[in-house]
Structure formats: structure tokens, C-alpha cells
Amino acid sequence: MSLRQRLLLDVALVLAFSLVVGALTSYWNSAKKIQTELHSAFVVGEQVLKDAVNALNGSPDPYRSLIGIIEQFNDGRHLKVSILDDSGQRVVQSHLEMPDDPAPEWFYKLFEVRSEATRVPVPPFIHGYSAFLIETDARNEIQEIWDDLGNSLFLIGIVGGLVCALIYWTVGRELKPLERLSRAMSVAAERDFTIRLDEKGPRDLRAVTRVFNHMTAQLEKAEASKTMLEVQLSMVQDEERAELARDLHDEIGPLLFSVGLDAAAVRTSIGDKSADISHRLDSIREAISLSQRRILQILGRLRTGTVEDLGLEAVVQGLVEFWTSRKPALTITTSIPEGGVNAELDPIIYRIVQESVSNAVRHGNTTSIDAVVSLDDEMVRVRVIDDGGGLKSRRAGHGLTGMRERVVSRRGTFSVGNRAEGKGTVVEAQFPKQDLQNNSQKTLRAGSVAS
């Protein structure tokens, strides 16, 4: 249950409790009011009836006056008057005012009001009649309470509805930052730490938003540092592998070759003079040959497919063969300048193409990929397009972040997004050619000074 629903439920419970308390209080007061009203009407009606009976003594037609007294009490609200015969039976009685829409019977029974009644004797000279009976009737007074109750409930319903609507609207408006915070936390849970929220709304929610923004900023910095460390670690590993390969090739290789030549020379010089020495020399030469082959295998693992060894065009072609051999339905076309771009940029371009192709094949359900590296007077442009499903999340993974870091480190620009015409993804990187030329010239000058 949401906070808004809980608040509305709490308000509804409070209103219901208040309504019950109010109903009990109203019932108590109404019962007392009915009793008071009926007693007051009874006292007044009894006195009026006594005065009318006394007036019968001087009436020229007392029997007609009896009917006039009954008619005097017709359409009353609280009192009924009846004429009793000598046996005590009602002969004629007044009728009460009847409501147009009477209350339900259970509501009348709810108010157990004690009825008051008394008899007023008629003069002795009127034969056949013994007395007037006057008694109270609470139905019209109860009907009045029923009508008031209906109006009160209608008014309470309107007020309660307005209060609930006001609370619903106010709480919704005040808690809108919480909804935005919930969506933002869902985005952050997918490791997209670039999201920020506007610090607006109530003071308490502004404080929560401020803490969230600080947290995502710190997480973004940590993620960027982690990515940079991974890139640097990868570069260090590549450098160490290359240096180890050079040491094996340039130092261990010549030493083994020299030992092999010396063993061959000794073998030639002794000829067949000593079979044991010749056998041992052959074993040494065989061990040296085996060591050389083993070193070549190690060199192959250390420097397999590197841009520095094979060049940009060759390693990209090797990447194409790798994926098309595993996915025969996949078509990859490339356009790479002959000889690559330069030693500084070729590894970065290869990483962009490699990561883009890998993402397209693994995540995009693609059938066609086009990788183009172009040069003009101002820029070096890399563009990889596929026809897969496109990007499904705003979150940048480690691969995209690594590509962006490599491009930015060379003063380039990097972008990735869905194709404008619909299906597929476009990865683009651009490098200022002037900066690359300047860097190349610095490298050449450094090499000349070293020489």
C-alpha cells in the first residue's frame, strides 16, 4: 500500500470514528430533545383542551362543539385527541400530519420514547361521552430527526469527499519528488550513475534528494576511476607482454642460437672420434632446438594478433574472420586505410572496432556490420554500424566506457546511439588530425635525440 493510500485510509478511519461518535452523541441529544418537545406540547395541549371543555358549559350546541374541539387538534405534529364513550372506547379522534417521505420503521423503533396521556372529563350534561383523551405521538418529531440526519450525512459526505480529494492531491504533489527518486534509484541500480535530480519540494525531501545526488556523483567518480584503472591495467599488461616478448626474442633467442652453433662446431671438430661425446652433443643440439621452438610458442601467445606486430588492417581482418567463422550468417564489411593511421592511434581504433563488433554480435542479434575508418585533412573518423536491436538501456557498460576513455585520452570525441532510420546501433569516434601529427612529430624528435 502506497503512502498516499495509507494516509487516505487513516483519514477515512478518523472520519468514520468521528461519525460514529457524532451519531451516538446525536442519538442521545435527540432522544432528550424528543422527550422535551413532546412534554412541552403535552402541557400546552392539555391546557387548551381543558379550556375548550370548560367553554362547553355555555355552548348552545355542545355536541357540535365536541367535534370542533377534535378538529382543532387535526394536523398536529405531536398530540392526538380522542373522544371516549361511556365504555372508554374511542369514538372520534384527531389525525396527525403525515410526512411525504416517512422514515423507515426501524428508525422509529430506535427511539423508545415514553408516551404521555391523560383524560379530561366532559361536562355531565353531555350524555354518551365520558372524556377527552389527549396523548403524545413522537413520529413527526422522529421524522424531523430523520430528515436532519439525511441532510447532515449528505453534507458530511461532500465535506469528506472534498477533504479526501484535497489530501490526495496535496500528498501526490508533495510526494512527487519521491516518485522521481524511486525511478532515479532504479536507474542507478542498473549502474547508470550519471542521473541527477532537481533539489525541489519539501525541505525533508530536498535533503534526501541532495544526499542521492551526492551518492550518485561519488559512485560516478568511483566507476570512472575503476574504468580508468582497468584501461591502464590492460595497457600495462600489453606493455609487459610486449617487453617480455622482446626480451625473449632479442636476448634468449640469440643465446640459444649461439649455443646451438657452438655445439654444432664441436660436433664437427671431433668428428667420429668419440661416440659418447657425439651423442651428448646431439642431445644438447636437440634440447636447444626444442627450447627455441618452445620460445617461439611463448612469443606467439604473448604477441598473437597485436596491432604493433601485424598492423591495423591485418588485425581487423583477423577479427572479421574470427566472428564470421563462428556465425556464417553474419556479414562484416570493413574499409581500413592501407598501412593504418599511425602507431599511436591504430591500437585505439582496433579496440573501438573490436568492442563494437563484439557488442553487436553478443547483444544486438545483428546480421550485418559495417566498419569504416576514414581520413581527411582535419579528422580521423571511425564509424561502426550494425542492423541489430539497438541500445536498450541508457547505462554505459565497461566496454563503452573504456572506448570513451581511450578516445578522450587522445582529445577525440565519442558517441554511441541508435540509428536514425530505426534498427541498429551507430558507434562513432573522431580524432583531430593536427593533434596526431603533433604527437607524431614529438615522438620522432624524441627518437632522434635518443639516437
Tens of pLDDT, residues 296-355: 777 766 655 567 667 888 888 888 888 888 888 889 999 988 888 887 888 888 888 988
Q: What CATH number has the domain spanning 3-173? A: 3.30.450
pTM above 0.85, yes or no: no
Give me the pLDDT at residue 445, please.
37
Supply the pLDDT for residue 382: 92
Torsion of CA 224, 228, 234, 239, to 10 degrees: 180
Phi and psi at residue 82, in whole multiples of 5°?
A: -130, 150
Distances (CA, A) of 412 to 341, 404, 435: 15, 9, 10
DSSP 92: E
pLDDT of residue 304: 52
Same fold, 3-173 and 308-450: no
Tracing cell 550513475 back to the chain, one arrives at 193
> What DSSP state is assigned to residue 103?
P
Three cell numbers written together for 122: 366532559
Q: Which helix (H) or strand (E) holds 356?
A: helix 346-363
- pLDDT for the residue numbered 309: 67
Which residues is 81 bridged to in the sheet?
Answer: 134
**In this predicted structure, what is the pLDDT of residue 341?**
82
Write down the residue that cell numbers 549502474 correspond to: 191
Intervals of the chain under pLDDT 70? 1, 3, 231, 271-274, 300-306, 308-309, 364, 392-399, 422, 434-451
Q: Quote the pLDDT of residue 56.
A: 83
Count Cβ atoms below 10 Å from residue 105 Cβ, excluding itself: 8
Identify the bridge partners of residue 425 per DSSP, sorted by sequence position: 418
CA distance 101 to 150: 12
Q: Tell me which residue has cell 639516437.
A: 451
Q: What's the pLDDT score for residue 435?
A: 55
CATH node for 308-450:
3.30.565.10
How are beta strands 129-136 and 117-121 bridged, if at all? Answer: antiparallel
The structural domains of the chain, with segments of one domain joined by +, span 3-173, 220-302, 308-450
